[in-house]
Structure 1
Amino acid sequence: MYEVDARGLSCPEPLMLVSDALKSHPGEKLKVLVSEPHSRTNVEKFVKSRGLIVLVKETGSEFELTIEG
Structure 2
Amino acid sequence: MEITVDARGLSCPQPVLLVAKEIEKGVFPIIVKVDGATACENIRRFALTRKLKVSITESGDESIITIQKE
Distance 2:27 2:6 in 1: 19
Contact kept, 8 Å, 2:15 with 2:39, in 1: the verdict is yes
State the Cα distance separating 1:65 from its structure 2 match: 0.2
- The runs of 5 or more residues in structure 2 that have no matched partner are none
Deviating beyond 3 angstroms after TM superposition, the runs of 4 or more aligned structure 1 residues are none
TM-score, normalised by the number of residues in structure 2: 0.94
RMSD between aligned residues: 0.7
TM-score, normalised by the number of residues in structure 1: 0.95
- The runs of 5 or more residues in structure 1 that have no matched partner are none
Query: Percent sequence identity over matched residues?
Result: 35
